[in-house]
């Protein structure tokens, strides 16, 4: 028996259902971090959801962070993809994802205060 795992333990449905949203968002943040690292040419220190670099590279890192975010979401709707995946995998009938607002994602590329 592995330490910390009870034999024949059942999943805690309550904990599983409340962890879906934060884990989903964390996965999107991790994808954004990975793409930012791929785009950035300078030295970088990623710490969870924060990035650090030399002062001379801040402007480039700032732009690459915004570009990675834009590229990650310009052609996809992660919430709709999750909904469709759950419906397909489990035969669930889920409500429609919330309707998108009017935000123009290209504005991220010009944002001064996109990421701190």
Taking a C-beta distance cutoff of 8 angstroms, is the pair 53, 39 a contact?
A: no
Contacts of 109 (CB under 8 A, 6+ apart): 63, 66, 67, 70
Annotate 73-87 with DSSP letters as a single string: HTT--HHHHHHHHHH
The residues annotated with a catalytic role in the active site are 49
| Whole-Å CA distances, 47 to 44, 51, 53, 88, 98 | 10, 6, 11, 35, 31
Instruction: Please give the helix or strand (H or E) that residue 44 lies within, else none.
Output: strand 44-47
């Amino acid at each position: 028996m592995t330490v910390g795992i009870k034999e024949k333990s059942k999943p805690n449905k309550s904990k599983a259902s409340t962890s879906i949203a934060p884990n989903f968002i964390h996965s999107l943040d991790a994808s954004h971090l990975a793409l930012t690292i791929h785009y950035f040419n300078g030295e970088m220190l990623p710490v969870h959801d924060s990035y650090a670099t030399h002062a001379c590279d801040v402007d480039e890192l700032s732009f690459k962070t915004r570009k990675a975010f834009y590229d990650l979401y310009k052609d996809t709707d992660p919430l709709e993809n999750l909904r469709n995946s759950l419906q397909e995998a489990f035969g669930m009938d889920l409500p429609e994802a919330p309707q998108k607002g009017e935000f123009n994602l290209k504005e991220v590329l010009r944002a001064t205060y996109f990421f701190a």
